Structure 1
Amino acid sequence: MADFKSDFQRWIGLCNEEYLIKYANKGLYNRACKEIEKGVTVSYEFMDDHVRCALSDDSVCLLYGDIERFSCSCPSDKICKHVILAIVAYATQHQPAAGMGDAGDEPAVFKPDFGWLLQLHPSDFLQAFTAAQIEEVLFRLEYGEALEVAETSFLTVTLQLQQVEVSFDQEADLSRAMCSCKAKGNCIHKLECLLRYRLVHEIDDREALQADITDVSYDAEVAAEARALLAEVLGIGLAKLPETVCTRFELLAIAAHNGNLPALEKDLRGIKGELGLFFQRHVKFSQDVLLDRLARVYLGLAALEKSERPELKKQLLGSFKSKYHTVPHLTLYALGANPWETRSGYKGVTYYFFSLADKRIYTYTEARPVYYEGTSFTYATSYKSKAPWGGLVTMEELSHSQVSLTSAKTNREQRLSSSDETKLVVLPRENIEELDLGETLCRDLAERMGEGAGVLFEQATEHVFLLPTKSVLQVFYEAATQQLIITVEAHDGESIPLVIPYQGEFDKTIRYLENNKRLLELRDVYWLVQVRGDELYPISMLQGKSLTSLKLDL
């Protein structure tokens, strides 16, 4: 009993106004205090593992030294004013005397210990949270967040950008944590606050958690069969290859889908498409492209077979559908828009934005398949249509703006989703020269052109950056290659050709650029460029607050 009484008094020392209001509510706490003021008294009888509290209003409560363990003779099945009253009365009447040491000493102060939050193991998170919650929070950790930590009766972590706070008890139990979002069970805010708090104390759980939630199982027989087919095609050669091989690639692609081999499925269908062009004797067929793809996929399968690292296996396997996660806030600076069309029959417009916080380029794409009969997509209509995220502006206006997005959804390739949850606010646009562009600004062209060279197994990503230039030296149309070439001068004096391939749909734009002498008068312009092989393709020009998307604004 002596041990229980000591533990009980220590717990009572934590039960201040903040603590009781957090677990009950302010109204209940105030009513209990008023009852004490009216003269309600409590007598306490200590048992082996609890205290019997007899109130003068004939109610009887049992307290066990834990805010979540109690009972009361009243009908309430939740914490009631009688329980709160019994705790407050004991803290007021008994705790100072119980905390006294020798005569004249100050009352003992019981300070909560939150050290257990730093002693948790990643396996504890796997038990308390789902794999989807962990994946979501690991993504959020890549973004900055203003964190505020306060230690009182609780350790309260506030995510200031999200305006969410989570309070942890001194008891080593994650289920007792309380979040201001009021969601039932363990919400993602609890995990995010916990992992960010541990990061502040130099405990990084990200790698261990990522490894634990990564599924790298796949059908090895399908991978082996695909590797054999690739070797067969490379061995036979195109001249002796039967047209039925396209069917074999399609069937294997279906098997790859069922065998958790998404990257292989995509590659097999891509190879089938290239072979289809070959058998049609199509002008777009390229033997070099086909051989490069065959070799890359074959080597990728060989690497997958030998790999033992989960993160490398995940990279080699790819994913069926990119997952989008919520980012609390993004401030985006529009960089321009680019219309495009693929061999497989898709048309679309991609919009580029620079994030002022993490200094990366984000994209939003509107695209449609146009290979179905009766379907169409026009760039001009898309450009004039309303933007997602509230429909406050058109896509054209958005592509020239600076905006704030709250609850933005994006994936690991920084592609933005048109989620209805995302809210857009248009901000005053800054001068591009005044922005800290980070790695988005090209400072060494040779290094930028070499990025990604020799990388066999990573999924292809768009390579886009800002190129600062001193002037435009020459603009001419090269009939032999059907390309408009804009030669610009870098600040170090290097001449750099920017290439725009001819497309009938943009014939007027190309002629306008070719004959526009004002281009030669431009000074200190930033060009948003895309790397295509060993060439640079210009998307837009930026200077000050102004922006011109070459194919859509001219």
Structure 2
Amino acid sequence: MIDPALRQSLAAYDDTALAALANPGLVRRAHRDLDEGKVRLIAGSLGKAEVEADGHLVVLDARGPGAAPCACKLAAMCRHRIAAVLFVLTPTTEDPAGEETPPQAADPHELLAAFDPAALERWAGKASWRAALEMAGEPAKVDVQANAIAVELDGLEGAILILRGQGFDGIISKSPKAQRKALHAAAVLAARRQFGLAVPDTEPEADALAAAPSAFVPEPAFLAGIARALGEVAALGFNLAPVPLEESLFELSVSSRADALPRLAAMLRAIAAQIRLRRQRALSFDPDVLLEQTSTAFALTRALTAGDADRQAALVGQVRRSFAPTAPLDLIGCGGERWRTATGARGVTAWFVEAGSGRWLSTSLARGPGQDPQFMPGDAWHHQAMWQAGPLVTLAHARLALEGANISPDGRLSAPAAARAAIVEARAAPTADLPGTVRTWADLREVHQAQSGLGLDAGRGPAACLLAPTRTAAPFFDDFAQQLVWPVMDETGAWLALTLDHDEQADTAIEALEATVSRGWQGLVLVKISRERQGLALTPITLIGEGHPVDLTLWRKPGWTGRIAEQSWLARLRQRRLGSRTFTRLPRDGTQTALDAAWQHLIDRLEAGPGLQAMLEGARAAHAGRLDSFGMPVLAELLRKEGSAEALLAAAYALLIARQQRSAIPLLV
């Protein structure tokens, strides 16, 4: 007789779960064997059943078919194991009458309660756990079944089944073995987040003090293997995007030798994800992003191989943003913004400038995707106290003396319990004579590079600065780019485009900007500078003029009812545009155009594949000659080198640095 406890422990293995473990055809064959009487019980004991399926002995226990030995010795899942499970789950005449009940959806909270995040982290291992945290954004779909939860992660094929009572090893998916632990851990985190259960903080804002980096000597053979894999990306990733290459990159990223290389491991996972998108012909695939990631990872591998001890810690990277104690700070609040990421993280960020040095610092109140449903960024901005002094709505527009805070290398301030701010002057608006205030738009490229860096030294986030325009024009809506464009002029007479993308998050900012500047506003503008494909983009954050500053994303117009009337501001903008000056974007200069063309040529070569690259040799020589004529002989020589994958990636990284150095400023004429 079959132990009822064993039957209960295997109840999650319905046809859907068994098909995910093997394939639907094998499940159908197992059902046929069962119907034809080819499956019988040999012996049953407490927690175990010995079942003969088509002449092969299978020994089942609570661990399920994946751990069951079968006499056929097949390494993959066989129909004998599946048939044995079906046999055990089939009611018999010996079962008590009325025991079988119609299947009902499981209680997700009860099912997921057995999957403790701390135990999940230990099961996954360091590298796979980091990968899981990266991938555990909002799931594309979560389906609660009778004895399982099916999770489909965005961009991944097939569902991951979290089975009741089977533990971490009983999670089922079609994922490759090297990716399995990371993907299964990500699915559990995504499911817990979906149903409001506690998940680890995946945002890099924790108040973790920086420790001295431990001595680390990269393993040359491991780095050489990564370099070869990146060379294969250049040879095949843009063209064929083979599955083994994606799996190889992911396997390298979660290997034990990658534990001490978190930065490089994260790059490899990002490259693998882009290769998957290329193979799927997804609209989100971006060859520019893939080339930038691959060439930067190749440069990082070379730099680690060179063994420059002075830069070792920065090159290796950190799992989380590190914070270190800082001296007392004299800060002037310049404004803030509300934001939300594509994965669902949301929060508010306040920006400060250090009065003496002009250094930009920021602090955030945020929650990760699905964390703390009660957290409302707007309410936190107005009511949650920071540094024992007051809410950000007050601190972001005051002069502060801050002591006991911690600071990260990229200028993020944390809020430990010991931090205390004293408000020196409430509502202290910054003035145009502050260090670092930009009056000439030609200086913006240098301001951005000073904060963000280049190549391997590039920072994670955008830069910030204050603009002091001498004149402004009426904002207008660019229908082609779907952006609000606000022209502002510097002291030399040059016009700059400040832009707001037209999306759900920006509607409030667009209406706030239109309502404020229509009244003849003059003053300073806090802007966020981001590097995009065609150059720099400048987004207005806060308008600082007469009266109280206007934080655009946090603005509420008088009589606000919670709805933004899009047609009203768009109609007003178009009406004011009639008869006013018409602006157009200033074309990029010859050097920028030559660099962009050479970059696009490399992408064309990579997408053409090895068989067709010879057809582009003439174009390569022409691009190299053009770079030579613009005074960039080193770049030209790198481009002329014969086309090994390594030489191509070296040329791509050099072009990437040159394009970053000469990022176009969005000027208007």
Q: Secondary structure at the match of 2:445?
A: helix
- Correspondence for 1:473: 473
Q: Secondary structure at the match of 1:331?
A: strand
State the number of aligned residues: 339
- Confirm whether residue 448 of structure 1 aligns to residue 444 of structure 2: yes
- Whether the aligned pair in 2 keeps the contact of 1:449 and 1:531 (CA below 8 Å) is no
The one-letter amino acid of 1:427's match is V
Aligned pairs for 1:116-131 within 5 A: none
* C-alpha spacing 1:523/1:414, structure 2 compared with 1 (3 Å): same
- Correspondence for 2:230: 230
Aligned pairs for 1:508-523 within 5 A: 508-514=508-514, 516=515, 518-519=517-518, 521-523=520-522
Give the Cα separation in 1 of the matches to 2:326 and 2:463: 23
Q: Secondary structure at the match of 2:331?
A: strand
The one-letter amino acid of 1:522's match is W
Deviation at 1:496, TM superposition (A): 0.5
* C-alpha spacing 1:349/1:219, structure 2 compared with 1 (3 Å): farther
* C-alpha spacing 1:437/1:310, structure 2 compared with 1 (3 Å): farther
Which 4+ runs in 1 deviate beyond 6 A?
A: none
Which whole-Å deviations, capped at 9, do the CAs of 1:132-158 have from their partners, x for residues lacking one?
xxxxxxxxxxxxxxxxxxxxxxxxxxx
* C-alpha spacing 1:416/1:525, structure 2 compared with 1 (3 Å): closer
Of Structure 1 and Structure 2, which has the larger fraction of its residues in strand? 1
- Confirm whether residue 419 of structure 1 aligns to residue 421 of structure 2: no
- Whether the aligned pair in 2 keeps the contact of 1:408 and 1:416 (CA below 8 Å) is yes
- Confirm whether residue 410 of structure 1 aligns to residue 407 of structure 2: yes
Give the Cα separation in 1 of the matches to 2:373 and 2:428: 40
- Correspondence for 1:549: 551
The one-letter amino acid of 1:403's match is L
Taking structure 2 as the reference length, the TM-score comes to 0.46
* C-alpha spacing 1:433/1:378, structure 2 compared with 1 (3 Å): closer
* C-alpha spacing 1:234/1:361, structure 2 compared with 1 (3 Å): same
Give the Cα separation in 2 of the matches to 1:280 and 1:333: 49
Give the Cα separation in 1 of the matches to 2:373 and 2:398: 31
Which whole-Å deviations, capped at 9, do the CAs of 1:406-461 have from their partners, x for residues lacking one?
111112222111201111222214754657522x3224433432554993211424
- Whether the aligned pair in 1 keeps the contact of 2:509 and 2:553 (CA below 8 Å) is yes
Give the Cα separation in 2 of the matches to 1:350 and 1:332: 15
- Whether the aligned pair in 2 keeps the contact of 1:214 and 1:310 (CA below 8 Å) is no
Aligned pairs for 1:498-513 within 5 A: 498-513=498-513
Give the Cα separation in 2 of the matches to 1:382 and 1:351: 12
Give the Cα separation in 2 of the matches to 1:362 and 1:454: 16
Deviation at 1:550, TM superposition (A): 1.2
Q: Secondary structure at the match of 2:378?
A: helix
- Correspondence for 1:241: 241
Equivalent in 362, 365, 383 of residue 381 of structure 2? 383
- Correspondence for 1:359: 358
Equivalent in 384, 397, 400 of residue 400 of structure 1? 397
Taking structure 1 as the reference length, the TM-score comes to 0.55
The one-letter amino acid of 1:231's match is G
The one-letter amino acid of 2:319's match is F
The one-letter amino acid of 1:389's match is W
- Whether the aligned pair in 1 keeps the contact of 2:236 and 2:242 (CA below 8 Å) is no
Deviation at 1:360, TM superposition (A): 0.8
Deviation at 1:380, TM superposition (A): 1.9
- Correspondence for 1:82: none
Q: What runs of 5+ residues in structure 2 fail to find an aligned partner?
A: 1-211, 557-669
Equivalent in 521, 538, 541 of residue 539 of structure 1? 541
Which whole-Å deviations, capped at 9, do the CAs of 1:362-412 have from their partners, x for residues lacking one?
11122322267x95864323323413322x422222222222211111122
- Correspondence for 2:221: 221
The one-letter amino acid of 1:235's match is A
Give the Cα separation in 2 of the matches to 1:255 and 1:376: 38
- Correspondence for 1:486: 486
* C-alpha spacing 1:337/1:527, structure 2 compared with 1 (3 Å): closer
Give the Cα separation in 2 of the matches to 1:231 and 1:415: 36
Give the Cα separation in 1 of the matches to 2:407 and 2:555: 27
Deviation at 1:245, TM superposition (A): 3.9
- Whether the aligned pair in 2 keeps the contact of 1:432 and 1:544 (CA below 8 Å) is no
Q: Secondary structure at the match of 2:254?
A: helix
Deviation at 1:468, TM superposition (A): 0.9
Deviation at 1:303, TM superposition (A): 2.5
* C-alpha spacing 1:278/1:322, structure 2 compared with 1 (3 Å): same
Which whole-Å deviations, capped at 9, do the CAs of 1:260-298 have from their partners, x for residues lacking one?
212202212322343444455444332111111111111
The one-letter amino acid of 1:399's match is A
Give the Cα separation in 2 of the matches to 1:434 and 1:350: 21
Give the Cα separation in 1 of the matches to 2:554 and 2:215: 43
Give the Cα separation in 2 of the matches to 1:397 and 1:280: 49
Deviation at 1:502, TM superposition (A): 1.6
- Correspondence for 1:320: 319
**RMSD (Å) for aligned C-alpha atoms:** 3.1
- Whether the aligned pair in 2 keeps the contact of 1:484 and 1:500 (CA below 8 Å) is yes
Give the Cα separation in 2 of the matches to 1:417 and 1:257: 31
Give the Cα separation in 1 of the matches to 2:408 and 2:489: 36
Give the Cα separation in 1 of the matches to 2:242 and 2:398: 54
Give the Cα separation in 1 of the matches to 2:276 and 2:375: 25
Aligned pairs for 1:32-43 within 5 A: none
The one-letter amino acid of 1:386's match is Q
Q: What runs of 5+ residues in structure 1 fail to find an aligned partner?
A: 1-211
- Whether the aligned pair in 2 keeps the contact of 1:471 and 1:524 (CA below 8 Å) is no
Deviation at 1:486, TM superposition (A): 0.7
The one-letter amino acid of 1:543's match is G
Give the Cα separation in 2 of the matches to 1:363 and 1:458: 20
* C-alpha spacing 1:253/1:538, structure 2 compared with 1 (3 Å): same
Aligned pairs for 1:204-353 within 5 A: 215-255=215-255, 258-279=258-279, 281-307=281-307, 309-353=308-352
- Whether the aligned pair in 1 keeps the contact of 2:241 and 2:278 (CA below 8 Å) is no
The one-letter amino acid of 2:390's match is V
Q: Percent identity?
A: 21
Structure (1 or 2) with the larger CA radius of gyration: 1
- Correspondence for 1:49: none
* C-alpha spacing 1:376/1:233, structure 2 compared with 1 (3 Å): farther
* C-alpha spacing 1:488/1:447, structure 2 compared with 1 (3 Å): closer
Aligned pairs for 1:69-148 within 5 A: none
- Whether the aligned pair in 2 keeps the contact of 1:388 and 1:420 (CA below 8 Å) is no
* C-alpha spacing 1:509/1:465, structure 2 compared with 1 (3 Å): closer
Which whole-Å deviations, capped at 9, do the CAs of 1:159-214 have from their partners, x for residues lacking one?
xxxxxxxxxxxxxxxxxxxxxxxxxxxxxxxxxxxxxxxxxxxxxxxxxxxxx977
- Whether the aligned pair in 2 keeps the contact of 1:431 and 1:544 (CA below 8 Å) is no
Give the Cα separation in 2 of the matches to 1:518 and 1:430: 21
- Whether the aligned pair in 1 keeps the contact of 2:475 and 2:486 (CA below 8 Å) is yes
Which whole-Å deviations, capped at 9, do the CAs of 1:287-330 have from their partners, x for residues lacking one?
111111111111221132124x3223333222233332222411
Give the Cα separation in 2 of the matches to 1:242 and 1:467: 48
Give the Cα separation in 2 of the matches to 1:406 and 1:435: 26
* C-alpha spacing 1:383/1:284, structure 2 compared with 1 (3 Å): farther
Deviation at 1:484, TM superposition (A): 0.8
- Whether the aligned pair in 1 keeps the contact of 2:522 and 2:545 (CA below 8 Å) is no
Give the Cα separation in 2 of the matches to 1:328 and 1:501: 38
